[in-house]
Amino acid sequence: INRPLYMSRPVTLGEFIIEKQKDFPYASGELSQLLSSIRLASKIVNREINRAGLADILGSVGQQNIQGETQMKLDVYANEVFINALKARGLVCGLASEENDDFIAFDEELHKDSKYVVLIDPLDGSSNIDVNVSVGTIFSIYRRLSAPGTKVTLEDFLQPGHKQVAAGYVVYGSSTMLVYTTGHGVNGFTLDPSLGVFLLSHENIKMPKSGTIYSINEGNYVKFPEGVKKYIKYCQESDPATKRPYTSRYIGSLVSDFHRNMLKGGIYIYPQGTNAPNGKLRLLYECNPLAFIAEQAGGLATDGYSRILDIQPTELHQRVPYFVGSADMVAKAMEFMNMYK
Ligand code: AHM
Ligand code: MG
């Protein structure tokens, strides 16, 4: 961002979004407003996550709190917050969430001219919350295919990832960060909790071309395809020239594992196994948005053989084997996959 002199103070996400609207010369500002809605929802979710550790003493999930309201599970809560925030302003005509079986069509008068659909994983890695480990929100935005004024259809959501208009994630970590792309690079913002604003902290993020971290749930080792087993061995072998052995790091919270690898250089793999022929991660809510960000940061994302963003989805909750991270490392893993087909 080109900061005028008077702006030698930190740049807020709000200011940044407005400034970047110039990247879309004919844009009406709707995408900017949409991103602002996501920003607001993530602050609300953040507030609730920060209180999660107090649930046991102040009333836990399913119990009634002092006001007589029943506490909601955080992933259900996050889902409602994002749906309501996106529905409220008439900027989105439909939404699909990892938490809901089917997509939601916003078909009231307010939404009839809106041209975007959103796909979201409102709280990924939520099993980590009870033990105070970071979780995340992942979002993905597409232009609708169906005619404005009509009800959204399944096809509006089943678009290949390269059609994404914007994608991002929020990591509720030691700090809360929002990272997003609109196809013009990747930028990261850190929440200042005292001000309640996201400040630009990571401008134009570039993923190191190579790295020394590999992230995979090795508990599933015996079920991995041969190529993945051989690649893991490769990571563990000693070779000073390529800085091996690599370091193994696996939080089990996709956004955090991805975020660390993007900043430090690394590869994240959730491969297919005999019990899970397509792995665990969902193409539309998890893999595509992070693949878009990875590519924008100079990294790669594949299913072991081909580009994630080129897959034509056939169903909303489709799963896909996932290899994402530093370009050289993903390319190397693909070499092994092709060698041991
Ligand atoms: P979820 O959407 O049910 O939270 O599952 C996704 C999570 C990811 O955050 C994480 O990378 C992965 O599941 C961990 O799976 P596993 O415990 O099998 O390693
Ligand atoms: Mg998830």
- CA 149 / ligand 1 centre spacing (Å): 37
Measured in Å, residue 200 CA sits from the centre of ligand 1 at 28
Q: Are 316 and 102 in contact (CB under 8 A)?
A: yes
Q: Give me the long-range contacts of 304-310 (CB less than 8 A, separation at least 24).
A: 304/225, 304/227, 304/228, 304/271, 304/272, 304/333, 304/334, 304/337, 305/334, 305/337, 305/338, 308/161, 308/283, 309/160, 309/161, 309/162, 309/164, 310/160, 310/161, 310/162
Helix (H, G, I), strand (E, B) or coil at 233: helix
- Residue 286: name the closest of 82, 157, 137, 110 by CA: 137
Quote the pLDDT of residue 59.
46
Q: Coil, strand or helix: which one is 177?
A: strand
Instruction: Give the SS3 label for residue 250.
Output: coil
Q: Residue 213: left if φ>0, alpha if ψ -120 to 50, beta else—which one?
A: beta
Q: What pLDDT shows up at residue 70?
A: 53
Q: Which ligand is nearest to the CA of 260?
A: 1
Give the per-residue pLDDT at 29.
82
CA-to-CA distance for 14 and 39, rounded, in angstroms?
Answer: 9
98 annotated to a ligand binding site: yes
Q: How is 296-319 classified by DSSP, letter by letter?
A: HTT-EEESSSSBGGG----STT-B
State the helix-helix crossing angle for 30-50 and 74-88, rounded to 10 degrees. 150
- Parallel, antiparallel, or unpaired: how do β-strands 213-215 and 266-270 relate? parallel
Residues whose CB is less than 8 angstroms from the CB of residue 176 and which lie 6 or more positions away in sequence, other chains included: 42, 46, 170, 190, 191, 193
191: tokens are 């929440």
Tell whether 123 is in a known binding site. Answer: yes
Q: Whose CA is nearest to atom 5 of ligand 1?
A: 125
Residues with CB under 6 A from ligand 1: 98, 124-126, 217, 252-254, 257, 280
- Helix ranges (DSSP H) in 89-175: 154-157
Candidates 280, 284, 285, 286: which one to mutate for ligand 1, based on the most atoms within 8 Å of Cβ?
280
pLDDT at 4: 57
Task: Say what the alpha-carbon torsion angle 206, 40, 44, 133 is, to the nearest 10 degrees.
Answer: -10
Q: What is the pLDDT along the chain (341 residues), one digit of tens a residue?
A: 666 544 567 899 999 988 888 776 666 788 889 999 999 999 999 999 888 777 655 544 555 555 555 556 888 899 999 999 999 888 899 999 999 999 999 877 777 778 999 999 999 998 888 788 999 999 999 999 998 888 899 999 999 999 999 999 999 999 999 999 999 999 999 999 999 999 999 999 999 999 999 999 999 999 999 999 999 999 999 999 999 999 999 999 999 999 999 999 999 999 999 889 999 999 999 999 999 999 999 999 999 999 999 999 999 999 999 999 999 999 999 999 999 98
- Tell which residue, 278, 257, 259, 277, has the closest CA to residue 268: 257
Query: Is the interface score ipTM higher than 0.90?
Result: yes
Ligand number, closest to the Cα atom of 134: 1
Ligand closest to CA 271: 1
What is the 1 CA–ligand 1 centroid distance (Å)? 35
Q: Is 250 annotated as a binding residue?
A: yes
